């Protein structure tokens, strides 16, 4: 669907950016206009619970006031700004810039000709594409049929489907005009036996729902519910554990978010070098694992993300001064060694490392070719997980994380899944775990259970981990 200009309060986002830049009197200005539309369906126990569509429009103005080497930045972001309110937003940002203290991440704004994104972004002038409830028309029909079949088979289906389109227009007083259109979608599907004792989950990221096969998702869950017909109790302890791609994504997305260069330089993360500096260059895994992000249009469609920095606020891992900076394919871990940390230009200057900002996708590749089923077939005695849940940091020194196994924890004996077991609370560090990975399978699309609402673009292999620390039993089923 294409939204008519009238839906934008009478002004196109491109024009809002130009007007804001024209109104600016400060020493530098960045303007970001975001147009977002989304649609969602949620269900439980074979029936709808909530639904909805929404549209939003956000104008963010970064006003920069320079005084010698110092720069102060005021950031004001407002929803639903009308044409006649644009100048007010700019003035407010300029006022805040005047009131703040010098920004520690101050840098010159990028200009055309600097290392900025070029032809990679969408055409600036084109219309904004929006989504609506219609994106689910065939999906909801298939889902309704699946509810009927599930009820007949003594199953209950729970889950969520969401689709979102965001168009981001970035302009600077130095002449940059960059646009990125990002479709993003996800499906979570959870099947339970009628007595709720058995539960299985599958998730999928999608750009447009054309590739979502409800029947295939439900068939996979039915197979897992069958595995759980036999159930055994296992005590806490360290187990050889097979992590499917979703569970690998659960752990490695958190590792990625924890890989900020500035915190590492400050001596306060697992990636800090004792005595100063960072652990870049240090071996983390004996396997040739590569953890990378690829913002190029050559990335698989499901992974495509913004090819330039879009920063609505400065934080420890992002800087409003870097807006528009072109992103390059980046190895965070290369051949098992820590290769890069998430940088701003400011932190790169402090660390003497390349400028490698965060990117909106994440891929782990271990050069493996085995499927998860094949890895199960080669397992003598171990656990097979489905996904992890309620993951929280316990100790930043080692990046110790805790959390639970969820919706299908299975016992593997002599190459076969023989039973479902109780869930566990784990205490594990994804960094420490990399040293105990003994096998990586083939990399494929993965949706993190824990972080899939925020980070949908991941591809991971299944991993075999030695001595995964299951700290205690959970009664949850």
Partner 1 sequence: MAGKAIDPGFTAYPLRELAAAALQRAADLGAARADFRAERIREQQISLSDGSLETLFDGDDLGLAVRVVVDGTWGFASAVDLTQAAALRAAAEAVEVAKVAAAINAEPIELADEPAYGDVSWLSAYETDPFEVSVADKVALLAGWSSGLLGHDRIDHVDASLHQVRECKFYADGATTALQQRVRLHPQVTAVAVEPGGRFETMRTLAPPAGRGLEYLGGGAWAGPGAWDFPAELAQLPELLAGKLAAPGVRPGRYDLVIDPSNLWLVIHESIGHATELDRALGYEAAYAGTTFATPDKCGSLQYGSPPMHVTGDRTAEHGLATVGYDDEGVAAQSWDLIAGGVLTGYQLDRRMARMQGLGRSNGCAFADSPGHMPIQRMANVSLRPAEGGPSTQELIAGVEDGIYILGDKSWSIDMQRYNFQFTGQRFYQISRGRLAGQLRDVAYQATTTDFWNAMEAVGGPQTYLLGGAFNCGKGQPSQVAPVSHGCPSVLMRGVRILNTAEEGA
Residues within window 118-147 making contact with partner 1, judged by CB under 8 A: 132-134, 136-137, 140-141, 143-144, 147
Residue 238 near partner 1 by CB under 8 A: no
Least separation in angstroms between residue 156's CB and partner 1 is: 8
Q: Which is nearer to partner 1, 9 or 288 (CB)?
A: 9
- Give the count of beta carbons closer than 10 Å to the beta carbon of residue 153: 13
Least separation in angstroms between residue 9's CB and partner 1 is: 5
Least separation in angstroms between residue 468's CB and partner 1 is: 12
Interface residues for partner 1 in 1-20 (CB under 8 A)?
6, 9
Residue 254 near partner 1 by CB under 8 A: no
Determine the Cα–Cα distance for residues 270 and 287; give it in Å rounded to an integer.
20
Element (H, E) at 36: strand 28-44
When binding is defined by CB under 8 A, the residue of 113, 275, 380, 414 that contacts partner 1 is 275
Q: Which is nearer to partner 1, 118 or 141 (CB)?
A: 141
Least separation in angstroms between residue 440's CB and partner 1 is: 23
For residue 234, which of 6, 423, 30 has the smallest C-alpha distance?
Answer: 423
When binding is defined by CB under 8 A, the residue of 121, 190, 293, 448 that contacts partner 1 is 190
- Give the count of beta carbons closer than 10 Å to the beta carbon of residue 152: 8
Residue 272: DSSP 8-state: B
Interface residues for partner 1 in 42-61 (CB under 8 A)?
42-57, 60
Determine the Cα–Cα distance for residues 29 and 174; give it in Å rounded to an integer.
8
Least separation in angstroms between residue 126's CB and partner 1 is: 21
Interface residues for partner 1 in 429-448 (CB under 8 A)?
429, 432
399: left (phi over 0), alpha (psi -120 to 50) or beta: left
The overall longest dimension of the chain from CA atoms, in Å, is 73
Residue 167 near partner 1 by CB under 8 A: no
Q: Which is nearer to partner 1, 57 or 292 (CB)?
A: 57
Checking DSSP bridges between strand 237-243 and strand 381-384, what pairing results, if any? parallel
Determine the Cα–Cα distance for residues 345 and 357; give it in Å rounded to an integer.
8
Q: Which is nearer to partner 1, 19 or 42 (CB)?
A: 42
DSSP string, 278-331: B-TT-B--SS--EEEE--STTS-GGG---SB---SS-BTTB-GGGTTBBP--EE
Residue 395 near partner 1 by CB under 8 A: yes
Least separation in angstroms between residue 132's CB and partner 1 is: 8
Structure tokens at 372: 């998860």
């Amino acid at each position: 669907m294409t939204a008519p200009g009238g839906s934008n309060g009478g002004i196109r986002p491109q024009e809002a950016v130009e007007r804001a830049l024209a109104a600016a009197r400060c020493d530098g200005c960045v303007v970001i206009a975001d147009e977002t539309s989304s649609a969602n369906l949620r269900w439980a126990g074979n029936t709808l619970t909530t639904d909805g569509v929404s549209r939003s429009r956000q104008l963010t103005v970064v006003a920069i006031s320079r005084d010698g080497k110092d720069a102060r930045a005021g950031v004001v972001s407002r929803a639903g700004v009308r044409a006649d309110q644009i100048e007010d937003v700019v003035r407010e940002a300029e006022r805040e810039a005047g009131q703040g203290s010098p920004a520690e991440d101050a840098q010159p704004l990028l200009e055309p000709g600097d290392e900025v994104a070029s032809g990679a972004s969408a055409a600036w002038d084109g219309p904004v594409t929006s989504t609506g409830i219609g994106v689910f028309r065939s999906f909801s029909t298939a889902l309704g049929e699946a509810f009927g079949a599930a009820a007949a088979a003594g199953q209950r289906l729970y889950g969520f489907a969401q689709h979102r389109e965001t168009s981001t227009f970035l302009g600077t007083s130095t002449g940059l005009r960059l646009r990125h259109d990002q479709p993003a979608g996800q499906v979570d599907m959870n099947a339970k036996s009628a007595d709720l004792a058995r539960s299985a989950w599958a998730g999928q990221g999608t750009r447009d729902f054309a590739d979502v096969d409800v029947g295939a998702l439900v068939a996979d869950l039915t197979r897992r519910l069958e595995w759980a017909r036999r159930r055994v109790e296992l005590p806490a302890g360290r187990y050889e554990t097979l992590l499917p791609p979703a569970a690998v994504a659960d752990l490695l997305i958190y590792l990625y978010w924890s890989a900020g260069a500035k915190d590492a330089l400050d001596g306060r993360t697992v990636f800090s070098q004792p005595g100063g500096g960072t652990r870049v260059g240090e071996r983390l895994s004996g396997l040739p694992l590569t953890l990378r992000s690829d913002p190029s249009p050559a990335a698989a469609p499901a992974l495509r993300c913004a090819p330039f920095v879009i920063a609505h606020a400065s934080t420890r891992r992002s800087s409003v001064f870097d807006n528009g900076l072109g992103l390059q394919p980046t190895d965070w871990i290369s051949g098992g060694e820590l290769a890069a940390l998430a940088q701003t230009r400011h932190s790169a200057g402090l660390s003497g490392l390349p400028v490698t900002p965060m990117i909106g996708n994440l891929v782990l590749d271990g050069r493996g070719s085995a499927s998860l089923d094949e890895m199960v077939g080669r397992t003598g005695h171990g656990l097979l997980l489905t996904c992890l849940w309620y993951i929280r940091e316990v100790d930043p020194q080692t990046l110790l994380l805790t959390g639970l196994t969820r919706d299908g924890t299975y016992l593997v004996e002599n190459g076969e899944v023989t039973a479902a077991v109780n869930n566990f609370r784990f205490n594990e560090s994804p960094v420490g775990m990399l040293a105990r990975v003994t096998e990586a399978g083939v990399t494929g699309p993965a949706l993190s259970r824990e972080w899939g609402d925020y980070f949908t673009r991941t591809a991971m292999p299944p991993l075999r981990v030695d001595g995964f620390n299951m700290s205690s039993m959970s009664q949850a089923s």
